[in-house]
Chain A
Amino acid sequence: MSAPLLETIHLSHLPPSMPVHVALYRDVQNAPYLRQQLMSANAEFEYAFIDASTVLSRTHLLSAVFRAVNDYMNGRLKSRNVHSEMVFSLSPATNIAESFRKFGITDSTKDLLVVKLSVTPEITHDSVAAHLGQSVEGTPVPFDDETLSKISDIAKIKKAYKLGALNTAPPNQANGTQDNGMRRLELSVLGAIALRGAT
């Protein structure tokens, strides 16, 4: 097992004592094992394990993380802990089990995003890196938009966010149609994440 390319990120507006650690893997070999640890609520494996094909970009993932951590700090988690909440926060719908099925790790997941929040001071970059290094069998790759763009399944994402009708080529805008379309998809997704559960 190889050392993870674990990135530690301080998100704007969140307490400096609470950085998030994110790692991206390709060709993951032991997804069923990792999922099993979640199912059995093994405290050692309190991570957000996300099927990376459902994520468009850094901003997409980090928006869900931001929402989950804000809900956590406001004491209104809907799921078991802040990490499961991150997976749930990716979802535009309020059904928790369904959000895990859609965005969470499955037995067939090959590309995996792992997120961990430093909820206690004991959780550090090094501790997370060490534990992931011995737990995840896969190829660590950088968590950047270029890598994610090779992994994300646009059709699946559009379906999950019910944005199928979104014509990715925007009307009466001449320049950079492709990029514009992706930008619009991303911003629509962010809106759906932000508004989840609004009554």
Chain B
Amino acid sequence: MTTETYTPPPLPPPFHNTPSHQMHLITQGAEAHLYKTTYLSPSTPAALKIRPTKPYRHPILDRRLTRARVLQEARCLVRLVREGVNVPAVLAVDWDINNTNNNHNGGAGGGADDGRGNGAWILMEWIEGCVVRVVIQRWERYIKSRSASASGGSSGVGVGAKRQVDGEVKLQDNEIEEEEKKVKGLLRRVGAAVGALHKAGVVHGDLTTSNLILRGAEEPAAEGDGEGVSPDMQGEVVLIDFGLASQSIQDEDRAVDLYVLERAFGSTHPRTEPLFGEVLEGYRASYRGSGSVLKRLEDVRMRGRKRSMIG
């Protein structure tokens, strides 16, 4: 683990009032910071996605881009919640935080009034669970440790390791089959979740197994935790991170969504890649119209995700 000396930018209002023990920076991307915080009451967890302004952009352009992107994301999510798709609900949004803070909040923004905004944020429902990427990676390690020559006692060394009687025993063929059935079931549910999303008229734009949460699945508390145990794969698949999502019902956009997932899956889970077909089967069964998207997917595979060659 790396030591964190990074200090994130000051929080925009109203979050500059929030005690720091109720604000935990979880992750940060190029466009946004994600915090775990609370909504309304300290007992209700929530995810806060803050898009800070980018100082290198022209102030007016920056304001428009930030606003447009936050609203795009929020609109997609609200629509999906209405349609009953498993995504985090939008609890609150601010797409245009004032820079010229008035007397009520001690001037968190500051700076000259050059038309620059102060970023934007979305508060979302907190989804408890574990990202599908981690679940599959744990599963892959489990299978590896229990199959063929690998069963030399490499798993389960060190403090707190689970010492089971059959801890080092190779899996029988029928057990491996059972294990594969379990992952296949998960992958089908992934496909069904993507299908539900597309059926509702939204494409995600950045589908990876890191943007899927298996609700209720236990997060490994520490490195190597839960090793040697086949991970639980019960629970709903919830789609997250709609930062690049848009509303579309085009076969092309849908097929590109699947293609992006397929490529990401192949590089993240090489051992499980042969089972990716299960995702597509789950997708096929999820709504009418999936067939033509899967047909289109074959074209996309031939040429890559850019059709137009522009940009």
Binding site for B on A (CB under 8 A): 9, 11-16, 59, 62-63, 66-67, 69-70, 72-76, 163, 166-167, 170-171, 173, 184, 187-188, 190-192, 194-195, 198
Asked if B91 and A190 make an inter-chain contact with CB atoms under 8 angstroms apart, the answer reads: yes
Q: How many angstroms from the CA of A11 to the CA of B93 in the assembled complex? A: 16
Flag B240-260 by CB within 8 Å of A: 1 or 0 each. 000000000000000000000
- Which of A69, A76, A187 contacts B89, CB < 8 Å? A187
Asked if A191 and B40 make an inter-chain contact with CB atoms under 8 angstroms apart, the answer reads: no
Contacts A13-B18, A171-B84; A194 near B40 (Cβ below 8 A): no
Q: Which residue of B lies closest to A180 (CB)?
A: B84
Q: Most chain-B CB neighbours within 10 Å: which of A11, A67, A191?
A: A191
Label chain B's interface by main secondary structure: mixed
Q: Most chain-B CB neighbours within 10 Å: which of A9, A16, A63?
A: A63
B13 within 8 A of A: yes
Asked if A73 and B90 make an inter-chain contact with CB atoms under 8 angstroms apart, the answer reads: no
- Can you report 12 residue pairs joining A to B where beta carbons are below 8 Å apart? A12-B37, A12-B40, A69-B14, A70-B94, A74-B94, A170-B84, A173-B84, A184-B81, A191-B78, A195-B75, A195-B90, A198-B93
Asked if A14 and B92 make an inter-chain contact with CB atoms under 8 angstroms apart, the answer reads: no
Asked if A13 and B14 make an inter-chain contact with CB atoms under 8 angstroms apart, the answer reads: yes
Residues of A within 8 A of B105 (CB): 15, 73
Residues of B within 8 A of A171 (CB): 84
Which 10 residue pairs are nearest across A and B when measured between Cβ atoms? A191-B78, A187-B89, A75-B102, A73-B104, A12-B38, A170-B84, A13-B14, A194-B93, A191-B90, A188-B82
Residues of A within 8 A of B41 (CB): 9, 11-12
Interface residues on B, range: 35 or more
- Report the minimal beta-carbon distance from A190 to chain B, rounded to whole angstroms: 6
- Which of B18, B42, B91, B104 contacts A194, CB < 8 Å? B91
Q: How many angstroms from the CA of A13 to the CA of B22 in the assembled complex? A: 9
Residues of B within 8 A of A195 (CB): 71, 74-75, 78, 90, 93
Flag B25-69 by CB within 8 Å of A: 1 or 0 each. 000000000000111111010000000000000000000000000
- Which of B38, B71, B92, B98 contacts A74, CB < 8 Å? B98
Asked if A198 and B74 make an inter-chain contact with CB atoms under 8 angstroms apart, the answer reads: yes
Residues of A within 8 A of B93 (CB): 194-195, 198
Contacts A63-B92, A171-B84, A187-B89; A74 near B78 (Cβ below 8 A): no
Asked if B95 and A198 make an inter-chain contact with CB atoms under 8 angstroms apart, the answer reads: yes
Q: How many angstroms from the CA of A73 to the CA of B75 in the assembled complex? A: 24
Q: How many angstroms from the CA of A191 to the CA of B125 in the assembled complex? A: 11
Residues of B within 8 A of A198 (CB): 71, 74-75, 93, 95
Q: How many angstroms from the CA of A8 to the CA of B161 in the assembled complex? A: 48
- Which of B14, B37, B90 contacts A70, CB < 8 Å? B14
Q: Most chain-A CB neighbours within 10 Å: which of B13, B39, B40, B44?
A: B40
Residues of A within 8 A of B14 (CB): 13-15, 69-70, 73
